Chain A
Amino acid sequence: MIQLHQVHKFYDTSIPALEDINLKIRKGDFVFVTGPSGAGKTTLLELIFSAETPSKGEIIVNGVNITRIKSSAIPYIRRRIGVVFQDFKLIPTKTVYENVAFALEIIGVNRKIIKRKVWQVLKWVGLLQKKDAFPPCLSGGEQQRVAIARAIINNPILLLADEPTGNLDPALSLDIIKLFKAINARGTTILIATHDRQMAEKFSDKIIFLKHGKLTGLSI
């Protein structure tokens, strides 16, 4: 599903954000990327998601070498990848329903289909009764569920999550991880970045360890 060959990423500083990363994630895997702050976890996810381009090396996602595609093709790659962030990235002026429907509206899906799919996914994440609420009125856990609902509504082949439980208490974190497990059970490959090594080890045996931009351990 994901292959990285000798991937390097430099920003303006001389210290690399990522250095010589080689890894392979198979379809249907449930993988954690862990390491301390500044290890390069977010950069790794951004590279896979084409939000950044590698300074060196090749990245292949679902058979497509995303380092060699035109920038105009990136949106189409992103439609097959769901992304979840620590700060949820919801639009505060849109309702829960509208936030989730948004992901389908921008690709031109018919309104009737949007309605059916949004209801299904909100029911699945347990938020149907809050479909008319605005994000600021929801708890952190609920907001993260909305973000997850938005990320999976397009049936992505890959779901990337950057510190999805970073703002949540342990009980809510557990709920969210269970939700990811359920999504994974439907066949979606999951890659979660977290600084919480214990949580990573508790929920998966497939872990990528990063430190100062280098791969320090791999159990895939």
Chain B
Amino acid sequence: MIYNKISYCFKTAFYNLRKHLLLSAVTATTIAITFIIFIFFLVVVINLSSFKNNWVDRLQVILYLENGADAAAIDETRTFITGLPEVDSVRFVSRDDALIMLKKSLEGQDGILQGLEENPLPASLEIKLKKEYLTPERVEIFVEKIKTIRPVEDIEYGQKWLERFTTIFTLLKIMGITFGGLLFLFAFFIISNTIRLLVYSRRDEIEIMKLVGATNRFIKLPFCIEAGIQGLVGSSCALLFVTFVVRVLMSEFIVPFQFYVGQSSFVFLTTTQSVFIIVLGLVLGLCGSLFSLNNLKELKN
């Protein structure tokens, strides 16, 4: 009996989707546009997050040492820094090593260094901090702690970058949540109004259904299925569209950009995230329809 009822509801839902094809298409398109923007924000946030994590992982505090600092002083400084709780590892880079590294990075452009009579590079200590200390505030505290040590001449760390990144990242997250929330609200009301129109166009049929003893739940189910399908189609189309666009962009722009920046690789949605987006479309459709159906006088006893 339940199978017959459900089969009837699905049959009715598909029949009505075909019958009101234009209205259904407009609703699904609205949902798709909402999801395209949502997925775009999501991909940007995911990539920024991945980029930030990658960058933070590589973050080092570099102490440039005074020229002529003796080995014992350097060793003492190194031992002191290694003993600090924030520090994961310390590497000493001598002046000669620094020059070799520079030469390596300028391979093919040897002319730049040809006029040099002596090595201008200072020796340095490259400090890698523990992961839990890699926040703008904690790095700042650490730097304050070591900047007066002798024979340190200068300290370099990505403080400004880190701060900028954190701000942009937080801003984008807030924008995404606000804008995404508003868009979802918009899609929710579009669905809810579509269902309202559908109920209105079938009010005679609904009246007859009630006369012959249909329960409200049974009357509502085909509408919910319709809205669910619209949501599902909308979110799936959006996902396909964004995947296509990303593939085109990847080949045209992102790969060269990545090469240029030399940072983390581009991250797209995982299978779980993709499934979540499709299910979200279904849920949005169902919630929009239920909101509308529960407030219609045609569906009260």
Enumerate chain A interface residues (CB-CB to B < 8 A). 50, 71-72, 74-79, 83, 89-91, 102-103, 105-111, 150, 154
Contact = CB atoms under 8 A, between A and B. Distances in A.
A17 B212 CA distance: 25
A80 to B, nearest CB: 8
26 contacts: A50-B301, A72-B215, A72-B301, A74-B301, A75-B213, A75-B214, A77-B213, A78-B211, A78-B213, A89-B207, A90-B208, A91-B204, A91-B205, A91-B208, A103-B213, A105-B8, A106-B5, A106-B214, A107-B1, A107-B5, A108-B1, A108-B2, A108-B3, A108-B4, A109-B4, A111-B4
Contacts of A107: 1, 5, 213-214
Given A89-B204, A106-B212, A106-B214, 19 more contacts: A72-B216, A72-B301, A75-B210, A75-B216, A78-B210, A79-B213, A89-B208, A89-B211, A91-B208, A102-B212, A105-B4, A105-B8, A106-B5, A106-B218, A107-B5, A108-B2, A108-B3, A109-B1, A110-B4
Contact of B213 (A71, A72, A106): A106
Interface string B213-230: 111101000000000000
B209 interface: yes
Contact of B212 (A108, A110, A150): A150
A89 B4 CA distance: 24
Nearest to A79: B213
A71 B211 contact: no
Interface string B1-21: 111110010000000000000
A89 B207 CA distance: 9
Nearest to A71: B301
Nearest to A50: B301
A67 to B, nearest CB: 13
Contacts of B204: 89, 91
A110 B2 CA distance: 10
B205 A103 contact: no
Most chain A beta carbons < 10 A, residue from B204, B214, B216: B214
Nearest to B202: A91
A158 to B, nearest CB: 13
Nearest to A104: B212
Given A71-B301, A106-B8, A78 B212 contact: yes
Nearest to B1: A108
Contacts of B3: 108
A106 to B, nearest CB: 4
From A83, A102, A105, A150, name the one whose CB has the most chain B CB atoms within 10 angstroms: A105
A35 to B, nearest CB: 23
A108 B8 contact: yes
A83 B213 CA distance: 11
Counting from the closest, the 6 A-B pairs by CB-CB distance are: A79-B213, A71-B301, A108-B1, A108-B5, A78-B213, A106-B214
A154 B8 CA distance: 18
B210 to A, nearest CB: 7
A76 B213 contact: yes
A52 B205 CA distance: 19
B211 A83 contact: yes
Contact of B215 (A75, A103, A110): A75
Nearest to B217: A72
Contacts of A154: 212-213
A164 to B, nearest CB: 14
Nearest to B209: A106
A78 B2 CA distance: 19
A111 B2 CA distance: 13
A75 B209 CA distance: 10
A110 B207 CA distance: 23
B293 to A, nearest CB: 15
A150 B301 CA distance: 21
Contacts of A103: 212-213
Contacts of B211: 78, 83, 89
B33 to A, nearest CB: 32
